Amino acid sequence: MKILIACGGTGGHLFPGLAVAETLLSRKHQVKLLVSEKSVDSAALSALTNGSGLSATTVPAVGYTGSRGLMRFCVRLRRAVDDCAAVCREFEPDVVLGMGGYTSAPAIWAARRGRGVATLIHESNAVPGKANRLAGKIADHVAVGLADCARFFGRKPVTVTGTPIRSALRKVSDAHDRLGLERERLTVLVMGGSQGANAINESMAEALPWLGDWRERSQFVHLTGPRDEATVRAAYRRNEFTGKVMGFCNEMELAYSAADLVVARSGAATLTELATFGLPAILIPFPAAAGNHQLHNARVFKRAGAARIAEPSKLAGEIHGLLANDATRTRMAAAARSLAVENASERIADLVEAHAN
């Protein structure tokens, strides 16, 4: 069977798509990825697909920025749909799976417009993005990561599958040693998604002077994105904290395995990984996320007792309080673990196979 997976634009779409691709490849299917031209896609793919048997094709990123850019949006959308249609003609997929974001909707439209290929979409967030709201109207089936999301797709067939994670994301026993960290210290993982988050980087730098009591008892792994790496590294050095600062991490299983507490955005892929590793978190939702979906995602974890939602200005106090309270962190870790959905990629692969047949 041939499956085309449209999953580019952000790590939150790409990595779940890769997880499904891994499962389909293990079932002896042929898989091609449709990704965007953005650097985050090329960087992740170069590290993850070598020797995997996966192939990838880029299509233009299409994002609607408002009525002033309507003409440009329509031109880019037409180009993206035409490019996706060309890929469909060449690859001749049995199923097209859209994971949301820039590449998803054009791929679904192209599949339906041409040979009438079976189509599915997956939405990871509690509130679907614009691309999946549109693609969901014509797709044959919808898979969702969170049950809260099902109501947005009306009478369309919906299956709650959870959000897939790659097979490599499993607990690593020697993570501290491989990252050059001390096992005796509490480890705080700070990250802002696959491209970093300037606001979180700045807030963390401002919080460090207020965390002096923890200078000898804690350490930080901070994933900054490429732009802020040098500035954030200087902040840890200036405040005399042990901080392993990286622009990008290709081995997130190490960072998660070493962490005792996480400061992060609340994209669906990040939350899925936190649940899998059972990690307590301080969440700072991205305020400009479409439909404010990151806040809705974070509220799911807050209701379960797995996370705190923080304002950037209150970050130091939240970190200080949770580092000082082992029992609270333990309860939050258990709550996070309870939100993990096993075998999400297998569930989606089952749906793909069923619709192809």
| Angle, in degrees to the nearest 10, between helices 268-277 and 11-26 | 60
Write the pLDDT tens digit of every residue in 39-75: 667 766 765 555 566 788 887 666 666 666 667 777 7
With b for 16 or more beta-carbon neighbours within 10 A and e for fewer, the 84-105 pattern comes to: bbebbeebebbbbbbbbbbbbb
Write the pLDDT tens digit of every residue in 103-152: 888 899 899 876 679 999 999 999 998 889 989 999 999 999 988 899 99
Q: What is the pLDDT of residue 19?
A: 92
CATH architecture of 175-338: 3-Layer(aba) Sandwich (3.40)
Q: Where in the chain is the domain with CATH 3.40.50.2000?
A: 2-163+342-356, 175-338
Residue 177 CA from chain centroid, whole number: 26
Q: What is the pLDDT of residue 56?
A: 84
Residue 288 carries which DSSP code? T
- Asked if residues 1 and 94 have their Cβ atoms less than 8 Å apart, the reply is yes
- Give, in degrees to the nearest 5, the angle at Cα 171 between 175 and 21: 115
Q: For residue 188, give both structure tokens.
A: 């705080």
CB atoms within 10 A of CB 198: 15
- Which superfamily does CATH assign the domain made up of 2-163+342-356 to? Glycogen Phosphorylase B; (3.40.50.2000)
Q: pLDDT of the chain along its 357 residues, tens only? A: 999 999 877 777 888 999 999 999 999 999 999 987 776 677 667 655 555 667 888 876 666 666 666 677 777 778 888 888 899 999 999 999 999 887 888 899 899 876 679 999 999 999 998 889 989 999 999 999 988 899 999 899 999 999 999 888 899 999 999 999 999 999 999 998 655 588 999 999 999 999 999 999 999 999 998 889 999 999 999 999 999 999 988 899 999 999 999 999 998 989 999 999 999 999 999 887 777 889 999 999 999 999 999 998 899 999 999 999 999 999 999 999 999 988 999 999 999 999 986
CB atoms within 10 A of CB 220: 26
298-301-303-308 Cα dihedral, nearest 10 degrees: -70
Q: How far is CA 89 from CA 23, 115, 135, 238, 352, in A?
A: 24, 8, 20, 57, 19
Q: What is the pLDDT of residue 192?
A: 83
CA 154, 160, 162, 167 torsion-angle sign: negative
Q: What is the pLDDT of residue 46?
A: 66
How do beta strands 261-264 and 186-191 pair?
Answer: parallel
Q: For residue 157, give both structure tokens.
A: 């067939």
Write the pLDDT tens digit of every residue in 166-180: 888 899 999 999 999
CA distance 287 to 339: 24
How do beta strands 95-98 and 307-309 pair?
Answer: unpaired
Q: What is the pLDDT of residue 43?
A: 66
How would DSSP label each residue in 220-252? EEEE--SSSHHHHHHHHHHTT--EEEES--S-H
Q: What is the pLDDT of residue 67?
A: 61
Specify the residue for token string 């998803």: 104
**What is the value of pTM for the model shown?**
0.84
Q: How far is CA 204 from CA 228, 244, 285, 293, in A?
A: 12, 14, 15, 23
Q: How many CA atoms lie within 13 A of 248 on its CB side?
A: 13
